[in-house]
Amino acid sequence: MKIDPHRAICALTTVLDFVGIDELQHGKRVAWIAESIAREIGWDEERQAFLFYAGMLHDCGVSRAMEHRRLTDGLTWSGAEAHCRRGESYLLECAPLRCFASVVRWHHTPWQQIQQLRVPPELALQSNLLFLADRVDALQAPHLNASQVDEAILAARDQLVDTVRARSGVLFNPDLVAAFERIGGRESFWLAMDPAYLLEYLENYPHASPLRDLGDRDVLALARLFARVVDAKSPFTHEHSLRVAKVARRLYELFELPAELAGSFEVAALLHDIGKLRVPDEILEKPGPLSRAERAVISRHSYDTFRILCRVFPDSPIPRWAASHHENLIGTGYPFHRAAAEIDLETRILVVADVLQALSQDRPYRGRMGSHAVGMQLTAMRDEGRVDPAVVRTTLLNLEELWHLATQA
């Protein structure tokens, strides 16, 4: 599993930015603002790049659009602490990104307060820089529209700079505020955040990535981090991706499929629902039946999964495996409507693992099923020709073990 770390983080930022739903660039803009301030105060390229990546990752603790909204609505919010702690704990568990954990932990702590805590001065300053960048973006958000940055922000920037200046020494470090005041006077700083320019900047990122080359274990760790972000989107999907991956991996072993691709298969299982971050919370948690329009919103998630994973894993079966988890053998699945002949065994396994885990978990419209009921349901699906008979057979033979994997933390 060779992946380019820069591409991976960019794609993952796009996914985190999905949580904003109406406003899809928050992480990327925060990255740009943080890096620009770091450059202005004379930090070297390595630290600029560190802040840029920290900006892209800073909201990895936010999975719910409602929380994202509260965070971008005003300058401070008493509930902000929760996502800082969540982000820190996700990053600590992910070896390749562990170096960002502390800066994310303190990225909403006011300058006055952080100085009274036992936070090392260097870390306090970096976190505060991230806080400032994040707040600048929250302040500019009402003046932006989704497709382009226009004159509205140039007209509003003086007032925005004043708002920040008024918090110098209280919310933000005075030197950082002074640097921000200088760059805030330049049109180029604001216009660079036009979505098209920002994407171009990301594509041709001028600094070396602070991430070393990633091996298979690192890729799995990254996939687990993002599975956690997806699963935290709703209480009804608690650990869904992590558990689907366990069930799928076990079935993969039972079928004695090639060991050298087992890691890739697990990554596909972990990330199969990554596109769900784009589905509004209200639809995901609606207790009653969904309308046609709401179903359409949900059913785009597997295609979004496909596009995201194609960017990170261009020459791998991972995107196809992951994105085909709602296909079936009678050709009525989505998003590709694949025919049975086009659906390989790995995909068939993932389809069953996803159904098995989902059935054994509470959903807004029904309660969880015990192993026996899950077995009956899978048998019915097999009889309708929707799922693979051999996969169902192996599942039924190992039902207790697999159900256990699907339900235990």
- Nearest approach in angstroms of CB 273 to Fe ion is 4
C-alpha distance from residue 406 to each of 198, 250, 386 (Å):
41, 11, 21
Q: Which is nearer to Fe ion, 40 or 273 (CB)?
A: 273
* Radius of gyration from C-alpha coordinates of the chain: 23
Backbone angles phi, psi at 213, to 5 degrees: -60, 140
- SS3 for 210-238 is CCCCCCHHHHHHHHHHHHHHHHCCCHHHC
Backbone angles phi, psi at 168, to 5 degrees: -60, 130
- Nearest approach in angstroms of CB 59 to Fe ion is 4
My answer on whether omega of the bond before 335 falls inside 30° of 0, hence cis, is yes
- Nearest approach in angstroms of CB 2 to Fe ion is 26
Which tokens in the block code for residue 388?
A: 């693979």
Q: Which is nearer to Fe ion, 273 or 327 (CB)?
A: 273
Q: Which is nearer to Fe ion, 134 or 327 (CB)?
A: 134
Alpha helices in 271-344 (DSSP H): 281-284, 292-298, 301-312, 318-323
CA 231 from chain centre, in angstroms, equals: 10
C-alpha distance from residue 236 to each of 137, 200, 373 (Å):
31, 37, 19
Q: Which is nearer to Fe ion, 225 or 322 (CB)?
A: 322
- Nearest approach in angstroms of CB 52 to Fe ion is 14
Q: Which is nearer to Fe ion, 107 or 382 (CB)?
A: 107
Q: Which is nearer to Fe ion, 67 or 134 (CB)?
A: 134
Q: Is the Cβ–Cβ distance between 32 and 132 less than 8 Å?
A: no
Residues in the chain, how many? 409
- Nearest approach in angstroms of CB 211 to Fe ion is 21
Catalytic (active-site) positions: 276
- Nearest approach in angstroms of CB 239 to Fe ion is 11
Q: Would you call 376 exposed, middle or buried from its count of C-beta atoms within 10 A (0-12, 13-18, 19+)? A: middle
Q: Would you call 345 exposed, middle or buried from its count of C-beta atoms within 10 A (0-12, 13-18, 19+)? A: middle
Sites of contact with Fe ion (CB under 5 A)? 59, 134, 273, 354
Distance CA 90, CA 85 (A): 9
Backbone angles phi, psi at 188, to 5 degrees: -60, -35
